[in-house]
């Protein structure tokens, strides 16, 4: 049996596989019009006719939303609440934009239908749905060409009978039906409805895609990556497709977590800088999750790895604005025309600034396969510098520090704004442009070390291959601390656990391999944000744990105040086999002679420094790299500035001390 | 020191991140749904003279009034390390009593005797006492609107003054919630102070101060460029407030905008005198409205700071509805009159900038406050909320539907959160079809929100555009006027724009909000 991890990216589809003890990597061009093509051809290339187990990170659900190419979806709500999905939270995202427009709802007004029924906050039915009314609705749905249906009633998480009843009648139509209490059993109707609608909108696409892979590869051993960093079976992914949204970046973070842990680093900030944007995430002895995720402005209330994105990358365009300030981004030169140094671009970008300062080597760009034009940069920089009092070199360094400031802001959002000190973390850098900025960024935030993994390009595929099988369940219970005593809460977990065990068994996990993690979402009465508190074997102290966590997160707690238990949360996990990486022996601090490819002048802090050019492939465990140095890899360049010192660890990772 | 465009950009980012981080702290730690769910608050950073350096983009009506509060505090207080001052007095830089501002000085060294910077935040509290629950009454003097807090030191040397705090809490209907919200406001300032200090440590205090002022110059420069593009001339417009909840109707707001090169003089002095009811706006509100209008004409993404104010001169006459004097009732000036001031400004500017200015938006915030004793647990409750409506259409597109426009941007309270917390059943929440004014581009549609009571309660509604619709532009039709309806035993009763009434369980309150105006004809 061959294990294969597959990550579909914009340009390449990456494969990593394990055949017995042998690990291998394969990369082919993606086939955006039908992503299954690249996936199938890769599987065939790697395994031939052998048995395979595949874990796949798919962008099908994400793209269906971003490109608005999902199914024709209908929404059924309580009568009088059909527009909740369009009203949203009634605010504008840009307060000074006089022509502000919301993203149009995934379900237009003529596909939204109200049913006369209602459940109140105690879960009592005030009015039951009338079967005749639903039957009548079936005809309308058919006439309007519905391909998928979302049902979201108020307080369905308290009492799902109305949704179930309607769902049962709708099943006659033989199209997918998403019931809100099954997708996310939590309060806040707009966010729950949006999640359910998104699921209904993407699942037909996903079903079609996954069916074609299983059918054509003749193999149904297919697992799909979720945005919570775990995987699920293809069958589940077809029903609950919303859980796969944004799973690509999640794979990278899980990969960083695994590689970091093996090397002895469990507090990481991941930094994935690409051409147009940068993704950052925080790992504090475990992955961090958010319940406030959005895709293209639509809230998606399923637990996701907390990844924060900023519009700054290698292609970000720099310019002096009309007030005399140096701006970098959010506009990007993209791949076409691209930066000035690609030959066609007319706007100086971050990549151009790096090249101008000598931090990129034109001959080595993408393994020397792409020609760069450094000669043009001087003219453009000179033009931009005019009237600013800066030299071209100062301007180029300035562009980099402004870009770093934007990324620093992103890192602050996930650390400082969550009450954590970045100085206690290691910056884990991957992605094409990250290596040129990571060390400088670390210095800005007093982060002592930068970690650059051995194979940064396939980190996401590694993450997928090693991801556990994870199922998340939640339930709004809204108890105060008196009714919410330990025994009561434990009882409330029972149905969730039963579901977890059944569904993990369905995923092929042995009972002995299952782990159940329980959490409570708690808050002080009157608050409307909850803190996730571990709920474990100890009978009495979850209230105390909440006070302590509240203090840690927000700087104060109040033991006099009444505490509420809002949601209970269960994560059912089945362990996947983790890759074992062999340690290599520490050879020597000194680089082997063939590792040094030459020397060049590079500017740091306004001065030109003689800088060694080193081939990353030729480095051995134990090697020490003194700054200033440039390390060349196929897809990226790593800059070790004069103030930093790098060391290759036993797994081939590079650890740079700042 | 010479301006370095790199550092200018770096400081622009840092100051905005500081005010945003203060907002995150306030939002996360606050207690009341009004602050947490609806985000009715603002945070900002000020230099040592009280000049605003950066404000997080939260609530526009706080724009001009925050600086006035901070200046009032600076003039009246001698600060030591670890102090914070609280105020809400509308005649000393506040806007209306529920908006409480907390100001903290930033000291760099132990022995400094004057503050190096200030940070401040303002949050809308859902009750500050006064004649009716929610403190948005149909009052006729400020004394009926709640407790007036002149600038006073709530935190001394890092410790909350318990005597003052107890005094405040004894004067409001929901003290537990207030105490939690005050703590959050204090935490937000602690965060801001810490970050400014870190910045000074890293770059030296002199550099921080220098760039704070260069950023003010920067915003001024870009504001002037925007004004320069408006053709020189005098542009006038007038609109009305429908009533003050008492006897007075059709209260005139009249503006003349004189554009000369890169500066502008705005004259509201021909507006009507202040009235008995609570729709009087203090000067700070008029200033906020003016700033909002000009800030929204600037297309660049610039820091909103003192520089944006400098090319603009505002003239008002004391004792008018746009510059009310003590002891006028002002609860509704902040939320309702501010919207009309914006409508008059855009109405005038439409003549100069037909392609950039929108038709009138809903022009009201549809304030609704409900309070009483929850019969389920016998505890007092106060609910306050504002309801969105239609935005005006522009030369570019239809007006957006079911959103807040202009001077506010608060979120709604989810129906499920509402029903968990209050003795209500929401019976309808939908878009009010065909309420936007027709045009080449149509105005946005309003909202219908219908609430059925489970307990007896008193309700106060403060709304406008119930008789005079939001105007269309260049032949576009006006939006539909809003409607307030009470349903008792199945019988509908149409209510005026402003009313107070004691209601019984099972009574229903239905609010239909106005649509926006249309833009030109098809």
Q: Tabulate helix, strand, coil % of chain A (nearest 5).
A: 35, 30, 35
Task: With respect to residue B232, please indicate whether it lies within any of the assigned structural domains.
Answer: no
% pLDDT > 90, chain A:
67
Task: With respect to residue B192, please indicate whether it lies within any of the assigned structural domains.
Answer: yes
Please enumerate in sequence order all residues whose Cβ is within 8 A of that of A218, keeping only pairs 6 or more positions apart, or say none: none
**What's the pLDDT score for residue A538?**
66
Hey, are the CB atoms on B302 and A323 less than 8 Å from each other?
yes
Question: Could you give all domains of chain A from N- to C-terminal order, each with its CATH number?
Answer: 2-65+207-247 (3.30.420.40), 69-202 (3.40.1360), 469-574 (no CATH), 593-657 (no CATH)
Positive/negative CA dihedral, B488, B493, B494, B498: negative
Taking Cα atoms as reference points, which of B422, B411, B507, B497 lies closest to residue B460?
A: B497
Alpha-carbon gap, residue A179 to A159, rounded angstroms: 12
Residue whose entry in the numeric block shows the structure tokens 């992914």:
A237
Q: Which of B216, B251, B271 is the last residue of a domain?
A: B216
- On chain A, the residues whose CB falls within 8 A of the CB of B180 are 524, 526-527, 558, 561
Distance from CA of A187 to the nearest CA of B (A): 6
Q: Is the pLDDT of residue A536 over 90?
A: no
The boundaries of the domain holding residue B123 are 5-130+139-216
Q: Check residues B177 and B333 and name the one with the higher pLDDT.
A: B333
Hey, are the CB atoms on A401 and B219 less than 8 Å from each other?
no
Positive/negative CA dihedral, B35, B41, B47, B53: positive
The nearest alpha carbon in chain A to B412 belongs to A89
Task: With respect to residue B168, please indicate whether it lies within any of the assigned structural domains.
Answer: yes
Q: Is the pLDDT of residue A238 over 70?
A: yes
% pLDDT > 90, chain B:
86
Distance from CA of A459 to the nearest CA of B (A): 31
From A98, A322, A529, residue closest to B300, measured CB to CB: A322
The complex's ipTM works out to 0.94
pLDDT digits 0-9 by tens, A610-645: 999 999 989 999 999 998 999 998 778 999 999 999
Q: Is the pLDDT of residue A311 over 90?
A: no
pLDDT digits 0-9 by tens, B63-94: 788 999 999 999 989 999 999 999 999 998 89
**What's the pLDDT score for residue A540?**
66
Alpha-helical runs (H) found in B357-443:
415-421
**What's the pLDDT score for residue A539?**
66
Phi, psi of B507 (to 5 degrees): -70, 150
Q: Which of B216, B250, B285 is the last residue of a domain?
A: B216
pLDDT digits 0-9 by tens, B152-168: 999 999 999 999 999 99
- On chain A, the residues whose CB falls within 8 A of the CB of B429 are 80-81, 83-84, 87
Please give the mean pLDDT across all residues of chain A.
91
Helix or strand holding residue A361 (H, E)? none
Alpha-carbon gap, residue A653 to A455, rounded angstroms: 8
A312 and A330 Cβ atoms separated by less than 8 Å: yes
pLDDT digits 0-9 by tens, A252-309: 999 999 999 999 999 999 999 888 889 999 999 999 888 888 988 899 999 999 999 8
Q: Is the pLDDT of residue B482 over 80?
A: yes
User: Best mutation site among A77, A78, A83 for testing chain B: the one with the most B CBs within 10 Å?
Assistant: A83
Which residues pair with residue B237 across a beta bridge? B255
Helix or strand holding residue A561 (H, E)? none
**What's the pLDDT score for residue B361?**
98
Q: Is the pLDDT of residue B34 over 80?
A: no
- pTM of the predicted structure, to 2 decimals: 0.92
| β-pairing verdict for A177-179 and A222-225 | unpaired
Hey, are the CB atoms on B415 and A402 less than 8 Å from each other?
no
B477 in helix, strand or coil?
coil
Q: Which of B160, B191, B216 is the last residue of a domain?
A: B216
Alpha-carbon gap, residue A475 to A184, rounded angstroms: 8
Taking Cα atoms as reference points, which of A377, A320, A385 lies closest to residue A348?
A: A377
- On chain B, the residues whose CB falls within 8 A of the CB of A417 are 21, 24-25
From B9, B31, B387, residue closest to A402, measured CB to CB: B9
Q: Which tokens go with A563? A: 């505490």
Taking Cα atoms as reference points, which of B310, B343, B311 lies closest to residue B229?
A: B311
- On chain B, the residues whose CB falls within 8 A of the CB of A327 are 9
Taking Cα atoms as reference points, which of A156, A226, A203 lies closest to residue A184?
A: A156
Alpha-carbon gap, residue B215 to B14, rounded angstroms: 12
Across residues B320-340, what is the average pLDDT? 96
Distance from CA of B303 to the nearest CA of A (A): 11
Which DSSP state fits B271? S
The string of DSSP codes covering A617-628 is GG--TT-EEESS
Task: With respect to residue B500, please indicate whether it lies within any of the assigned structural domains.
Answer: yes
A68 and A26 Cβ atoms separated by less than 8 Å: no
Q: Is the pLDDT of residue B118 over 80?
A: yes
Buried b (16+ CB within 10 A) or exposed e, B246-258: bebeebebbbbbb
Looking at beta carbons, which pairs linking A23-26 to residues 24 or more positions away fall under 8 Å?
A23/A579, A25/A455, A25/A458, A25/A461
Radius of gyration of chain A measured on its C-alpha atoms = 27
Tell me the pLDDT band of B487, cut-offs 50, 70 and 90.
very high
When divided into structural domains, chain B yields a total of 2
Q: Is the pLDDT of residue A13 over 90?
A: no
Hey, are the CB atoms on B183 and A556 less than 8 Å from each other?
yes
Taking Cα atoms as reference points, which of B53, B40, B50 lies closest to residue B75?
A: B50
Hey, are the CB atoms on B33 and A528 less than 8 Å from each other?
yes
Hey, are the CB atoms on B387 and A83 less than 8 Å from each other?
no
| β-pairing verdict for A2-8 and A12-19 | antiparallel
Strand ordering across the sheet containing A177-179: A112-115, A73-78, A148-151, A177-179
């Amino acid at each position: 049996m061959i294990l294969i991890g597959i990550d579909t990216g914009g340009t390449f589809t990456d494969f990593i596989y394990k055949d017995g003890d042998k690990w291998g990597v394969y990369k082919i061009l993606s086939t955006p019009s039908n992503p299954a093509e690249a996936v199938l051809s890769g599987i065939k290339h790697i395994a031939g006719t052998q048995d395979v187990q595949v874990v796949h990170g798919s962008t099908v659900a994400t793209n269906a939303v971003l490109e608005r190419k999902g199914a024709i979806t209908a929404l059924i709500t309580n009568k009088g609440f059909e527009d909740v999905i369009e009203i949203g939270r009634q605010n504008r995202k840009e307060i000074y934009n006089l022509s502000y427009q919301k993203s149009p709802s995934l379900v237009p007004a003529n596909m939204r239908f109200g049913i006369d029924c209602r459940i109140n906050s105690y879960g009592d039915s005030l009015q039951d749905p009338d079967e005749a009314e639903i039957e009548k609705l079936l005809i309308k749905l058919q006439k309007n060409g519905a391909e998928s249906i979302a049902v979201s009633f108020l307080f369905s998480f308290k009492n799902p009978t109305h949704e179930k009843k309607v769902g049962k009648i709708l099943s006659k139509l033989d199209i997918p039906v998403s019931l809100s209490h099954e997708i996310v059993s939590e309060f806040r109707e707009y966010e729950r409805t949006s999640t359910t609608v998104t699921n209904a909108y993407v699942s037909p696409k996903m079903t079609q895609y996954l069916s074609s892979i299983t059918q054509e590869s003749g193999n149904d051993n297919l697992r799909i990556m979720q945005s919570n960093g775990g995987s699920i079976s293809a069958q589940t992914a077809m029903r609950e497709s919303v859980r796969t949204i944004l799973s690509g970046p999640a794979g990278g973070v899980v990969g960083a977590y695994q590689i970091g842990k093996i090397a002895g680093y469990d507090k990481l900030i991941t930094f994935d800088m690409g051409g147009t944007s940068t993704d950052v995430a925080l790992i504090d002895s475990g992955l961090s999750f958010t319940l406030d995720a959005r895709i293209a402005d639509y809230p998606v209330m399923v637990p996701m790895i907390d990844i924060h994105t900023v519009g700054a990358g290698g292609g970000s365009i720099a310019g002096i604005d009309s007030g005399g300030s140096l701006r970098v981004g959010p506009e990007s030169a993209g791949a076409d025309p691209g930066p000035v140094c690609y030959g066609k671009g007319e706007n100086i970008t971050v990549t151009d600034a790096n090249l101008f300062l000598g931090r990129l080597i034109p001959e080595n760009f993408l393994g020397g396969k792409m020609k760069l034009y450094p000669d043009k940069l001087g003219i453009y920089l000179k033009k931009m510098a005019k009237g600013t009092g800066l030299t071209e070199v100062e301007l180029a360094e300035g562009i980099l520090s402004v870009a770093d400031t934007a990324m620093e802001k992103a890192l602050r959002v996930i650390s400082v704004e969550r009450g954590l000190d970045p100085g206690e973390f290691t910056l884990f850098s991957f992605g094409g442009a990250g290596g040129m900025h990571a060390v400088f960024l670390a210095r800005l935030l007093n982060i002592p070390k930068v970690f650059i993994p051995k194979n940064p390009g396939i980190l996401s595929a590694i993450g997928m291959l090693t991801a556990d099988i994870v199922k998340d369940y939640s339930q709004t219970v809204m108890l105060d601390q008196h009714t919410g005593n330990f025994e009561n809460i434990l009882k409330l977990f029972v149905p969730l656990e039963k579901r977890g065990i059944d569904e993990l068994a369905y995923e092929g996990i042995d009972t002995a391999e299952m782990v159940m993690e329980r959490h409570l979402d708690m808050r002080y009465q009157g608050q409307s944000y909850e803190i996730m508190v571990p709920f474990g074997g100890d009978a009495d102290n979850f209230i105390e744990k909440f006070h302590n966590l509240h203090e840690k997160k927000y700087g104060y707690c109040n033991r006099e105040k009444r505490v509420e238990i809002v949601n209970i949360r269960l994560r059912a996990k089945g362990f996947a086999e983790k890759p074992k990486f062999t340690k290599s022996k520490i050879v020597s601090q000194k680089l082997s002679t063939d590792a040094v490819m030459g020397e060049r002048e590079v500017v740091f802090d306004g001065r030109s420094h003689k800088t060694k050019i080193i081939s990353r492939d030729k480095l051995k465990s134990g090697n020490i790299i003194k700054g200033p140095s440039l390390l060349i890899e196929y897809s990226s360049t790593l800059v070790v500035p004069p103030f930093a010192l790098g060391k290759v660890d036993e797994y081939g990772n590079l650890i740079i001390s700042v | 020191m010479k301006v370095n465009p790199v550092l200018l950009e770096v400081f622009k980012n840092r100051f905005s991140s500081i005010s945003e981080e203060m907002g995150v702290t306030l939002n996360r730690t606050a207690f009341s749904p009004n602050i947490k769910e609806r985000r009715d608050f603002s945070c900002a950073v000020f230099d040592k003279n009280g000049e605003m350096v950066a404000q997080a983009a939260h609530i526009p009506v706080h724009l001009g009034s925050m600086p006035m509060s901070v200046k009032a505090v600076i003039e009246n207080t001698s600060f030591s390390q670890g102090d914070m001052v609280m105020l809400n007095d509308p005649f000393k830089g506040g806007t209306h009593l529920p908006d409480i501002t907390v100001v903290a000085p930033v000291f760099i060294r132990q022995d400094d005797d004057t503050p190096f910077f200030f940070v401040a935040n303002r949050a809308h509290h859902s009750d500050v006492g006064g004649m009716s629950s929610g403190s948005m009454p149909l009052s006729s003097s400020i004394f009926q609107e709640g407790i007036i807090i002149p600038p006073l030191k709530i935190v001394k040397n890092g410790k909350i003054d318990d005597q003052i705090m107890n005094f405040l809490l004894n004067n409001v209907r929901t003290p537990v919630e207030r105490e939690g919200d005050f703590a959050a406001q204090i935490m937000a300032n602690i965060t801001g102070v810490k970050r400014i200090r870190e910045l000074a440590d890293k770059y030296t205090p002199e550099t921080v101060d220098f760039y704070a002022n260069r950023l003010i110059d920067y915003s001024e420069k870009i504001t002037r460029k925007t004004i320069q593009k408006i053709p020189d001339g005098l542009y006038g417009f007038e609109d009305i407030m429908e009533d003050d909840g008492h006897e007075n109707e059709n209260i005139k707001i009249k503006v003349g905008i004189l554009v000369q090169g890169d500066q502008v003089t705005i004259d509201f002095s021909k507006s009507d005198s202040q009235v008995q009811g609570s729709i009087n706006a203090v000067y700070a509100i008029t200033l906020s409205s003016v700033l909002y209008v000009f800030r929204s004409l600037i297309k660049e993404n610039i820091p909103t700071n003192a520089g944006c104010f400098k090319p603009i001169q505002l003239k008002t006459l004391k004792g008018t509805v746009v510059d009310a004097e003590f002891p006028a009732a002002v609860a509704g000036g902040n939320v309702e009159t501010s919207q009309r001031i914006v409508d008059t400004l855009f109405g005038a500017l439409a003549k100069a900038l037909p392609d950039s200015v929108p038709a009138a938006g809903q022009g009201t915030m549809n304030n609704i406050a409900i309070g009483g004793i929850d019969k389920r647990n016998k505890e007092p409750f106060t609910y306050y909320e504002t309801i969105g409506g239609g935005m005006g259409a522009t030369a570019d597109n239809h007006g957006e539907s079911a959103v807040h426009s202009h001077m506010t941007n608060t979120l709604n309270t989810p129906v499920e959160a509402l029903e968990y917390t209050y003795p209500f059943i929401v019976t309808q929440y939908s878009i009010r079809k065909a309420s936007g004014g027709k045009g080449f581009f149509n105005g946005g549609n309003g909202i219908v929100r219908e609430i059925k009571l489970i307990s007896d309660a008193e309700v106060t509604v403060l709304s406008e555009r119930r008789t005079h619709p939001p105007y269309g532009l260049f032949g576009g039709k006006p939006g539909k006027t809003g409607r307030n309806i009470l349903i008792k035993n199945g019988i509908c009763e149409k209510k005026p724009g402003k009313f107070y009434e004691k209601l019984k369980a099972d009574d229903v309150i239905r609010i239909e909000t106005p649509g926006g105006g249309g833009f030109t004809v098809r």
